[in-house]
Structure 1
Amino acid sequence: MLNREEYIEQAYFFEVISKRLPENIPMQEILEQLRAETLATTKLPMAIDYMLAELKHSGTMYPAMQQLRHYFSPFQTYLMSEAESDRGRFDIRVAIEILQREAEYRAKTPSRQGLFMYEFEALCRNRLTYDQGLAAIANDDHFDEHWKEWILIVRRQIGIVEIADLIYARSWFFVNQQRQLGREVDLKDHSILFDEKEGKVAFANRQNDPLYLFAALQRHLGYPTVPKPKPDDGSKQQILQMTRLLEQLSQRVKLLEEEQRGGFDLSNFYKKQ
């Protein structure tokens, strides 16, 4: 896990991208500007250098984020990979806003429960792949072994068992209810991950739309809210998708041209000292 100032700078990084993307500023130019704006005492400027090199090479940032696993979480990388995908089903503006709010939450005193529910809701609201998304969440160093094990159980059972039931069964509310019925729960093989309040909210939302569960947890426990996809006519998103594709094609054409001339110089992709 990173220290607080790193997450503050990450939140600023994503916030600036979120504000400048609608202005149709090329991503490369945005990153170059942010390279000068971010605190030099953090690791973010070095991460931006790496992302810039990857952007010039492939037209995407997520491969660089994947290599910087010590700095960007697997979930952050997964979101960017979906947003930069050629399929273009996931709005990059929404992805950036999700990452901004997540970094803001991490900069405070995030609970594992709050972080998991935020990331899981992001998958639900944006119809992302549960299999890959939950695997990315499970690989986050913020979660201990008990959490990782449970998240992988959720990954296997989601769609068969409701998320409210999965939360309820791992809460102190469930344990206390069982004890009132004269039943003991083996806590060695059944790790309790959620407090009684989360369990109550989950129990009250069984067989309900999961969005009601998310909203109730946010109201009662102050969990972070996930940005909602903004409905529009699709024209802005199409322009952004076309811009990303053109940037990627431009880089590929440059590489092909240099290869035709007898090879290309890898030093062009690294920041000159």
Structure 2
Amino acid sequence: MNRKAIRRSPVLTRGPVLEREEYIEQAHLFELLFEQGGGAFPIQELLQQLRDEVLATTRLVMAIDYLLTEIKHSGLLGPAMHQLSHYFTPFQTYLIDQSESDTGRFLMSTAFQVLHSEAKYRLQDCSPVGLFLYQFEVLCRSRLTYDRGLTAISGDPLYDNQWSQWILGLRAQIGLVDFADLLFLSSEYYRDQLLASKQSTEGKGPFLLDAKTGRIAFANRRKDPTFLFGALQRHMGYPAVPRPKPVDDSKEVLSRMSRRIERLESRIQLMEEERRATLDITKFYEKQ
């Protein structure tokens, strides 16, 4: 009997949707860590300062206490956020884990900036469509792994079971099917086309995306994905994803040029001394 291995979706602990004041204080937390985290103030001191600033009636105060305890022992935020899965979403924890990884290029300042924009977006009319597009664009622009990233996204409390299963199903399709096609085939715009042509919708869908998203995806098929993300961000109203800044190697280039100029000057000086027959080669002898 042939046994086929069945790939099971990982089970994530999905916390509840937090109250509005929690996201207000989270936005303040990540904003301060983004603005001053890479400066002269260590994260431990910033968390201690935020411990006294945030609203005392929110659960963020207890979360900061736990983060402070963990960072004093291990120097990392990720392990503590894993233990606080009832408060922080899996996507928030995933970004912090990637920023603290020794082998990754995802900067912690970028993670704080992304989380600050996401917390502010949740204070507005945040829809599952806009939140998913924002989180997925973060994975693309930051070059994070789709498998672990989509798994973390699927555990967000804003998504219901149908949304979570659809996001988990994307892990096997990303890279094989154009992302614009995946959005179009899961939109109400595609469903309306099937119904208009009197075709059956059985076995297709789920049609989770609205018709406007489907039209934008259909118009950007076989194009550069940056055009798709740009159009979606303009029309859906979710925050702009921070783009990785190119490495400024101008200082290194100037130092290499200065060293090369010094070597050229030394060679020219030796050539002039040799031409005038004043070159003293004894100065190059090894001193005993």
Letter in 2 for 1:199: G
Query: 2:160 aligned with 1:144, yes or no?
Result: yes
Q: Distance in 2 between matches of 1:195 and 1:96?
A: 30
> 2:219 maps to which residue?
204
Q: Secondary structure at the match of 2:29?
A: helix
CA distance in 2, matches of 1:176, 1:158: 25
Match of 1:182 among 198, 202, 217: 198
* Aligned partner of 2:143 among 127, 139, 145: 127
Q: 2:94 is matched with which residue? A: 78
Per-residue deviation, 1:153: 1.1
Partner in structure 1 of residue 175 of structure 2 = 159
In the TM superposition, residue 24 of structure 1 has moved relative to its aligned partner by 2.5
Q: Which has the larger radius of gyration?
A: 2
CA contact (8 A) 1:11 1:101 kept: yes
Residue 230 of structure 1: how far off its partner (Å):
2.2
- 1:105 counterpart letter in structure 2: Y
Conservation of the 8 A alpha-carbon contact between 1:94 and 1:227: yes
Q: State the distance in 1 between where 2:223 and 2:163 align.
A: 24
Output the CA distance in 1 between the equivalents of 2:194 and 2:221: 17
Q: Per-residue CA shift, 1:68-108, capped at 9, x if unaligned? A: 11110000000000001122411111111000000111122
Cα pair 1:78 1:133 within 8 Å, conserved: yes
- Quick check: 1:114–1:224 contact (8 Å CA) kept in 2? no
Give the Cα separation in 2 of the matches to 1:209 and 1:72: 33
Aligned 8 A contact 1:65 1:72 in 2 = yes
Aligned to 2:103: 87
Q: Does 1:63 align with 2:69?
A: no
1:42 aligns with 2:58: yes
Shift of 1:181: 2.1
Identity %: 53
d(CA) in 2 for partners of 1:66, 1:176: 42
Q: Which runs of 5 or more structure 1 residues have no equivalent in the other structure? A: 236-273
Query: Which residue of structure 2 aligns with residue 7 of structure 1?
Result: 23
Specify which of 39, 43, 52 is matched with residue 27 of structure 1. 43
**Matched AA of 1:152:** L
- In structure 2, the CA distance between the partners of 1:59 and 1:203, relative to structure 1 (3 Å rule), is same
**Relative contact order, higher structure (CA 8 A, sep 6+):** 1
Q: SS state of the match for residue 38, structure 2? A: helix
The amino acid that maps onto 1:118 is: Y
The whole-number CA distance in structure 1 between the counterparts of 2:195 and 2:23 is: 41
Deviation string 1:219-266 (CA, Å, 9 cap, x unpaired) is: 22223211112224279xxxxxxxxxxxxxxxxxxxxxxxxxxxxxxx
Deviates more, 1:131-140 or 1:225-234: 225-234
Say if 1:159 and 1:213 are closer, same or farther in 2 by CA, change over 3 A: same
Distance 1:135 1:49, change over 3 A: same
Aligned Cα root-mean-square deviation (Å)? 1.5
Residue identity opposite 2:214 in structure 1? G
Residue number in structure 1 paired with 2:245: 230
8 Å CA contact retained: 1:4, 1:108? no
Comparing both structures, which one devotes a greater share of its residues to helix? 1
Q: TM-score, normalised to structure 1's length?
A: 0.82
1:24-65 CA-to-partner distances (Å, cap 9, x unmatched) read 311111111111111111011110110111101111001111
TM-score normalized by the length of structure 2: 0.78
**SS in structure 1 opposite 2:106?**
coil
How many aligned positions are there? 234
1:194 pairs with 2:209: yes
**Counterpart position of 2:236:** 221
Unaligned stretches of 5+ residues in structure 2: 1-16, 251-288
In structure 2, what is the equivalent of residue 261 of structure 1? Answer: none
Partner Cα separation in structure 2 for residue 54 and residue 234 of structure 1:
36
Distance of 2:60 and 2:82 partners within structure 1: 15
